[in-house]
Amino acid sequence: MKITQKQRLTCLLAFALSSLSMTAASADNVYLNQWGFTPKQNKLAVIANASPSPFTVTRLNDGAQPLSGNTQPSGTWDDAGMRVSLADLSAITTPGEYRLSVDGTEPVIFTVKSDPYGALHDAAIKAYYYNRAGMALDQAFAGKWHRAAGHPDMQTLILGEPDAAPTDRSKGWYDAGDYNKYIVNSGISTYTLLRAYLDNTEFYNSRHWNIPESTNERADLLDEILWNLDWMITMQDSDGGVFHKLTTLNFSGPVMPEAATATRYATAKSTAAALNFAAVMSVAARVFDERRDDYLSRADRALAWAKANPARYYTNEDNVKTGQYGDNVLSDEHTWAAIEYAISRQDADRLAELTSSLSGVSTPSWANVTGLSYLSLLRDAKALLTDSDYKAISSRFTRFADQQVAIMEANAFRVPAVTKDFVWGSNAVMMNKAMLLENAFALTGKQAYRTAALALLDYVGGRNPTGYSFVTGFGVNSPRFIHHRPSEADGIADPVPGWLAGGPQNGHQDGCQYSSDLPATSYLDDWCSYSTNEITINWNAPLVYVLASVISDN
Ligand code: 9MR
């Protein structure tokens, strides 16, 4: 079909407008998953042009054209300021490389393959190895990103207690782009990885990604998790309380770990730290048989401390300027820790009591862990709950999933995302939703939940209004300048691979220059942008979970 001069102008205008609202690195105005699709999954491309336009799909190896049609207008996404249409490519199920040509746009390539997510999964979990504190990364495992050890943390002090003996608080993962280690954020991150293991045990028992422990008997995922559990244990004080974080007074500059040598302190103890610690130790007790008693007695003591100190909220000491992870609403943490402990102790009576006061399902985050309680109840507590309690929990959970499906269907990009999702770490909001949706799918077998989870994977893989694939090293347009000290300081052009960038949100807390003020397009691939382009252990964890879940139940 020939397009008129007016249509051509409209297309050009739409392209120019969308280019303006996009970040500079976007090459075109077709947005789709840049990682590849499995043969059977839905395949949608979003075109930044509201009017129906002809499109053709060409197979690269033989020039065949297995699909053509017209794009379907799908409405406006106000968060991105875009009116768009969709090309549905789901009919393409034969593995191969394809070109999508939509009239008025630059053609884009997409792939269909049996395992588009395997390498991505391995990189997303290997990112934790790259962030290990206190260990040199050998070239045999780290490739060109090998580096010296930093932060041995063998002689750390307690802030404000100059007489306390220097103490070993070694190992653990660096939280993020900074080099500090925070218990609250370790809580949700370690839980999510333990959850990934518990829900995909067979997959992980035979999965390796070349870390120093890959040749031992244990699953690589468990070795990775132990690196952090070993550190978490060192943060428990003799009274059962848990120090909130191990930190320098200020953030270091963009230098390699071994060059960041300022003194490290354990800060004040907090209720949030004790509860996160107790929850993680309780779950770890279900996974590591040989450590069960130790982990449970640690959880026990942390819970007792939290009971005696139920509202010891953490705020940074006057001279501490690093991340706060402050949370003044701890009812969700109190319930979560108690639920995990009761599950591990097989205490059905206590569980019934806790379950009856559980609040509604919400997307997990470091500050809101109610969703984690639901996951543990659904996955690990069926035999401990009465049928009617289990049903009540399940139906509240699937109601949340149904809401996400409804949001997806109304969204112009067909992703279950709303304005309030665009907070610091919005990509992790999407992945945490996807994790819940994968669980709803596992619980019911309802395909719409899997479709919604995959739509969110597509979103972080490129079907989003910035045109970025948000995982370093994957996709044709992925972040190059993440806010990650080693990636900034190592002199290697490519960032450390496998990290999920925080993603768009329009708080602009870092004062960088953004080309957009809109929630879904305020993203900057620049070191400067710690509010949209940092990486963290709690954002990668649900990505790992979702990929493992999708791969193992393909
Ligand atoms: O992920 C945290 C986000 O929810 C907060 O809004 C933000 C500001 O307090 O802090 C984020 O966490 C950062 C932490 O404090 C320090 N390490 C890097 C984390 C990611 O930016």
Tens of pLDDT, residue by residue over 136-150, are 999 999 999 999 999
What distance in angstroms lies between residue 320's CA and the mean position of ligand 1's atoms?
Answer: 15
Residue 295 near residue 340 (C-beta atoms within 8 A): no
Q: Cα separation of 344 and 285, whole Å?
A: 7
Q: Cα separation of 245 and 184, whole Å?
A: 8
Residue 523 near residue 544 (C-beta atoms within 8 A): no
With respect to residue 24, please indicate whether it lies within any of the assigned structural domains: no
What total number of domains does the chain contain?
1
With respect to residue 442, please indicate whether it lies within any of the assigned structural domains: no
Given a cut of 90, whether residue 128 has pLDDT beyond it is yes
CB of 425 shorter than 6 A to ligand 1: yes
Which residue's CA lies nearest to atom 15 of ligand 1?
Answer: 323
Atom of ligand 1 nearest to the CA of 367: 4
What distance in angstroms lies between residue 334's CA and the mean position of ligand 1's atoms?
Answer: 22
Which of 179, 184, 185 to mutate to test ligand 1, by most ligand atoms within 8 A of the CB atom?
185
What distance in angstroms lies between residue 540's CA and the mean position of ligand 1's atoms?
Answer: 14
With respect to residue 183, please indicate whether it lies within any of the assigned structural domains: yes
The number of CA neighbours under 13 Å toward the Cβ of 272 is: 24
Which residue's CA lies nearest to atom 13 of ligand 1?
Answer: 323
Q: Cα separation of 448 and 441, whole Å?
A: 8
Q: Cα separation of 482 and 500, whole Å?
A: 9
Q: Cα separation of 249 and 530, whole Å?
A: 19
Which residue's CA lies nearest to atom 5 of ligand 1?
Answer: 424
**Active-site pick, 122, 153, 178, 224:** 178
Q: Is 525 a catalytic residue?
A: yes
Spell out the SS3 assignment of 307-365: HHCCCCCCCCCCCCCCCCCCCCCCHHHHHHHHHHHHHHCCCHHHHHHHHHCCCCCCCCE
Provide the angle, in degrees to the nearest 10, between the axes of the packed helices 348-356 and 331-344: 160
What distance in angstroms lies between residue 76's CA and the mean position of ligand 1's atoms?
Answer: 31
Element (H, E) at 450: helix 447-460
Supply 163's token pair: 């007489």
Structural domain boundaries, residue 153? 145-385
For the segment 461-487, the average pLDDT, to the nearest whole number, is 98
Q: Which residues is 76 bridged to in the sheet?
A: 83
Q: Which amino acid is at 418?
A: V
What is the pLDDT, as a whole number, of residue 20?
A: 35
Q: Cα separation of 6 and 15, whole Å?
A: 14
At residue 415, φ and ψ (nearest 5 deg) are: -125, 145
Supply 251's token pair: 């953030």
Given a cut of 60, whether residue 7 has pLDDT beyond it is no
What is the pLDDT, as a whole number, of residue 554?
A: 52
Token match 């409405």: residue? 75
With respect to residue 398, please indicate whether it lies within any of the assigned structural domains: no
What is the pLDDT, as a whole number, of residue 17?
A: 35
With respect to residue 34, please indicate whether it lies within any of the assigned structural domains: no
Residue 216 near residue 210 (C-beta atoms within 8 A): no
**What percent of the chain is modeled with pLDDT above 70?**
95
Which residue's CA lies nearest to atom 6 of ligand 1?
Answer: 424
Which of 421, 536, 537, 539 to mutate to test ligand 1, by most ligand atoms within 8 A of the CB atom?
536
What distance in angstroms lies between residue 325's CA and the mean position of ligand 1's atoms?
Answer: 7
Spell out the SS3 assignment of 244-311: CEEECCCCCCCCCHHHCCCCCEECCECHHHHHHHHHHHHHHHHHCHHHHHHHHHHHHHHHHHHHHCCC
Q: Is 289 a catalytic residue?
A: no
With respect to residue 31, please indicate whether it lies within any of the assigned structural domains: no
Which residue's CA lies nearest to atom 18 of ligand 1?
Answer: 176
Given a cut of 50, whether residue 519 has pLDDT beyond it is yes
What distance in angstroms lies between residue 323's CA and the mean position of ligand 1's atoms?
Answer: 6
Residue 130 near residue 207 (C-beta atoms within 8 A): no
Q: Is 389 a catalytic residue?
A: no
Given a cut of 60, whether residue 245 has pLDDT beyond it is yes
With respect to residue 239, please indicate whether it lies within any of the assigned structural domains: yes
Residues contacting residue 247 through CB under 8 Å, at least 6 positions apart: 180, 181, 182, 264, 265, 267, 320, 322, 323
* pLDDT band (50, 70, 90) for residue 553: confident
Given a cut of 50, whether residue 184 has pLDDT beyond it is yes
Q: Cα separation of 89 and 42, whole Å?
A: 7
With respect to residue 37, please indicate whether it lies within any of the assigned structural domains: no
Given a cut of 90, whether residue 423 has pLDDT beyond it is yes
Residues contacting residue 32 through CB under 8 Å, at least 6 positions apart: 43, 44, 45, 46, 89, 100, 108, 110, 458, 462, 463
CB of 176 shorter than 6 A to ligand 1: yes
Which of 184, 424, 529 to mutate to test ligand 1, by most ligand atoms within 8 A of the CB atom?
424
Tens of pLDDT, residue by residue over 54-104, are 999 999 999 999 999 999 999 999 999 999 999 999 999 999 999 999 998
Q: Compute CA 302 distance to the chain's CA centroid, rounded to the nearest angstrom.
A: 27
Nearest residue to 366 (alpha-carbon basis) of 502, 522, 189, 174: 189
Given a cut of 50, whether residue 127 has pLDDT beyond it is yes
Q: Cα separation of 351 and 340, whole Å?
A: 9
CB of 323 shorter than 6 A to ligand 1: yes
Tens of pLDDT, residue by residue over 11-69, are 333 333 333 333 333 334 999 999 999 999 999 999 999 999 999 999 999 999 999 99
Residues contacting residue 248 through CB under 8 Å, at least 6 positions apart: 179, 180, 260, 262, 263, 264, 265, 322
DSSP letters for 401-443: HHHHHHHHHHSTT--S--GGG-STTHHHHHHHHHHHHHHHHHH
CATH number of the domain that residue 283 is part of: 1.50.10.10
Q: Is 483 a catalytic residue?
A: yes
Nearest residue to 209 (alpha-carbon basis) of 491, 544, 483: 544
Q: What angle do CA 373, 190, 114 make, to 5 degrees?
A: 95
Given a cut of 80, whether residue 394 has pLDDT beyond it is yes
For the segment 518-535, the average pLDDT, to the nearest whole number, is 98
143: left (phi over 0), alpha (psi -120 to 50) or beta: left
Which residue's CA lies nearest to atom 19 of ligand 1?
Answer: 176
CB of 175 shorter than 6 A to ligand 1: yes
CB of 536 shorter than 6 A to ligand 1: yes
Q: Cα separation of 482 and 499, whole Å?
A: 9
What is the pLDDT, as a whole number, of residue 13?
A: 35
Residue 211 near residue 126 (C-beta atoms within 8 A): yes
Please give the mean pLDDT across all residues of the chain: 94
